[in-house]
Structures are given as C-alpha cells and as structure tokens.
C-alpha cells in the first residue's frame, strides 16, 4: 500500500477551546473544571490559529473540543470565521444546561458541520454516573433529536472501559433510531481522571473489536475507534476472510476518502497521534493527541504547522519504522501502528509496542524463533 504523506499537513486539527465544563466525567483526559484555565487562548489568538489552519492544503477538518466548547463566550465568532474560510467544523459539547434546543439550532445556523455527543452507557443510571451529573443521558438523547430536527448530522462518542463494556451491546439499536452517522468509540487511555478507571485486557480488546466489525455489517451508521488502532487490522483481516460489505472505517484498503452526507470526510489512511492528527490545548500547547500530553511547542511562540512538521516528537511518531517491540515489525504498522498514547501512559515510551494488542505478527515470532522452521520457509 502506498503510504500517506502526513508529513506536510495534518488531516485533522483538534483545538481544546476551553478547559471549563460543568461536568466531572470519570474518564476526562483534561480533568476539566467549572472555570477556564488561566491563560487560555484569547479570541484574537484563536482567530489567528483558525486563519493559519485554513491555509493548509488540503484543508483539514477542525474539531472544537474541551472541556465544554459551549462554555466559551466567543464560540460562535470562532465557528463563523472558520466556516467563512472554508473549514468544516465539528463540535463536541457537553450535555449540560447550556445544550438547549435553541443552542443546537444556532449551531446549525452558524455552520457547524457535525455535532458529536457522548453516550457512555445504555441506561440513565450508568451514563449519568459516568458523567458525574444526573440528567445527562436524557439531555443527550434530546439533543440528538433536536439535531435531527435541525438537519445537523450527529455522531456519538463512547468511552470504552472494562466497567461499561458489557452495556455497549445494547447501544447500536438506539443509535440507529437516532439517525447518527458515526459511532466513534474511544478506548480508555489512563490519563487525567481516567487513571482511576480500568482498561480492557488485550484479549477483551480483540473481542470488542471483532464485535464492532459485526455491528458495522448490520447497522446504517459508520463505526470507528480512537486509541484502538488495531481495529483497522481486525477489519482488514475480516474483509479478506469474508469478502463482505461493512461500514467500518479502517485504513489501508484504498487511498480514497469515505464521504458522509455532511462532507465530514473520514480518512481511510492511517491517521494516528501526530501522524495526520494534531491537538492544541486550551493554553496553546501542541501535542500529538489529547491522550498523549507530551508537548512539542506552543502556538503563541511558533506557527502550528512549523511545530507539526519540524518537532522531533512529531517526526518520530510519523516514522513507523521507529516503533519498538512487535509493533515495529508488524505488517499492519503503516495503517495501525498501535496507540502511541497508551504506550506512553503504560510504559513511559510512546514508541513502545501497544500493550493492549493481542496480535502477534509472524515477523515477531521469527525474531523470537517461535515459528516452526517449515512454516517460516513457506512449506
């Protein structure tokens, strides 16, 4: 497969517009608080960042996240400027009293391309406990309905932990009923408040990823994963074995983009932390991902693109031949590469093998001398 060249421009830019949020979610990588952090990017600085991003070719997708983006007073000015410059804008609001029907319609009017809402359980009891506030489950479902009425496409983000995994099997039917275009599953990385939660084991990861592939064959929405890049390997293996159709968003089988009705393309190339993806914190620090809080610079001091292109951190993450352990010899490393955020969180080395991948590449067995000689010779 031809390797994608993300060395020049990122495919997706995520900006944490504020750390402020009324919720206290148990998994929050940002450990968000009710008030903004001191020194968050000003309106002028935010507009300058958006104007720079709009010069990239091709133009990346812009994701405004938090905290809760709705807690930022100048949010509509930022969105309007991004849309004026031709950027597609995704937004991830929290399900707080700020998220009203009127707000959803305003977001549509100002030009938000897609609304991403979180559901981390199939019942009010489990989801509200996860989010730290009663009523968030009901408000999220209502917001999905409001968005559909407004003609604003939606995706649902779900954090996957050992605690909530058993409930996830009840969610696809509800998501289909709500008309979401994408189910995006974030596999817990132990950073921020998420350090107190339990991850799935490598074997459980594999079980969930295979189940998600089955979901992608049956339901009308697309399925993707974050920090479980080996879903791409599972999808490619299953497609090769079965030759069927699915709606899983994986990398490697083509160099074309998958287009949604809202124009929010999802790259079928190997977008990973620092390789096609860049994260800007509320105070301007630049990291490969919000789940990999290792900073390469600050947009107040250097242009974002300069940091992305030239910093040693990003350059290392884009070179899949630098990966260590079994990830470094895996035949899927250019479309997967493992979770660099999880490797860092669990080992302290962002180039280490993904600790939650059960797959053992044949080349790794050869290195360890654990494959039968006849098999290695192709007999």
- What is the pLDDT of the chain when averaged over all its residues? 90
For residues 109 and 163, which has the higher predicted lDDT (pLDDT)?
109
Residue 65 CA, distance from chain mean position = 11
What is the helix (H) or strand (E) element at residue 117, kind and residue range? strand 114-118
pLDDT classification of 34: cutoffs 50, 70, 90: confident
Using the 3D structure, point to which of 298, 329, 359 is the last residue of a domain. Answer: 298
Q: Domain for residue 124, yes or no?
A: yes
pLDDT classification of 27: cutoffs 50, 70, 90: low
Pair 316, 294 in one domain: no
Pair 214, 317 in one domain: no
Whether 185 and 160 have beta carbons less than 8 Å apart is answered as yes
Q: Domain for residue 204, yes or no?
A: yes
- Residue 28: the pLDDT is 74
Structural domain tally of the chain? 2
pTM: predicted TM-score of the whole model, two decimal places: 0.93
Q: Domain for residue 127, yes or no?
A: yes
Sorted by sequence, the CB contacts under 8 Å of residue 3 that are 6+ apart come out as 270, 334
Pair 67, 201 in one domain: yes
Sorted by sequence, the CB contacts under 8 Å of residue 185 that are 6+ apart come out as 157, 158, 159, 160, 168, 212, 223, 224, 225, 226, 228
Residue 313 tokens, joined: 């951190």
Domain around 46: 12-298
| Percent of all residues in the chain with a pLDDT value above 90, rounded to a whole number | 79
Sorted by sequence, the CB contacts under 8 Å of residue 6 that are 6+ apart come out as 269, 271, 275, 276, 318
Strands 297-298 and 114-118: unpaired
Task: Give the tens place of pLDDT for each residue, 137-147.
Answer: 999 999 999 99
Residue 361, SS3 per DSSP: coil
Pair 333, 253 in one domain: no
């Amino acid at each position: 497969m031809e390797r994608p060249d993300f060395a020049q421009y990122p495919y997706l830019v995520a900006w944490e517009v504020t750390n402020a949020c009324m919720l206290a979610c148990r998994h929050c990588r940002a450990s968000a608080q009710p008030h903004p952090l001191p020194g968050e990017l000003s309106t002028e600085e935010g507009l300058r960042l958006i104007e720079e991003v709009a010069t990239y070719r091709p133009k990346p997708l812009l994701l405004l996240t938090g905290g809760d983006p709705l807690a930022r007073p100048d949010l509509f000015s930022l969105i309007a400027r991004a849309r004026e410059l031709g950027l597609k804008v995704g937004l991830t609001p929290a399900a707080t009293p700020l998220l009203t029907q009127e707000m959803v319609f305003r977001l549509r009017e100002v030009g938000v391309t897609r609304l991403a809402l979180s559901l981390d359980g199939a019942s009010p009891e489990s989801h509200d406990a996860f989010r730290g506030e009663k009523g968030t489950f009901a408000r999220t479902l209502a917001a999905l309905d409001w968005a559909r009425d407004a003609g604003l496409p939606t995706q649902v983000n779900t954090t996957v932990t050992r605690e909530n995994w058993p409930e996830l099997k009840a969610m696809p039917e509800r998501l289909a009923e709500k008309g979401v275009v994408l189910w995006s599953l974030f596999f817990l990385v132990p950073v921020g408040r998420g350090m107190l939660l339990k991850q799935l084991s490598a074997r459980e990861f594999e079980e969930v990823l295979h189940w998600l592939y089955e979901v992608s064959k049956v339901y009308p929405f697309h399925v993707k994963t974050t920090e479980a890049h080996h879903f791409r390997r599972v999808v490619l293996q299953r497609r090769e074995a079965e030759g069927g159709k699915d709606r899983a968003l994986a990398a490697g089988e083509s160099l074309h983009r998958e287009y949604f009705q809202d124009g929010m393309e999802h790259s079928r190339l190997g977008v990973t932390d620092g390789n096609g993806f860049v994260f800007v914190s509320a105070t301007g620090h630049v990291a490969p991902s919000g789940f990999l809080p290792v900073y390469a610079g600050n947009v107040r001091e250097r242009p974002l693109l300069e940091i992305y292109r030239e910093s040693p951190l990003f350059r290392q993450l884009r070179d899949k031949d630098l990966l260590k352990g079994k990830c470094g010899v895996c035949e899927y490393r250019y479309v997967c590469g493992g979770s660099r955020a999880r490797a860092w969180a669990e080992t302290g080395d962002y180039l280490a093998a993904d600790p939650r991948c059960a797959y053992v590449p044949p080349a790794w067995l050869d290195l360890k001398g654990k494959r039968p000689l006849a098999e290695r010779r192709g007999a």
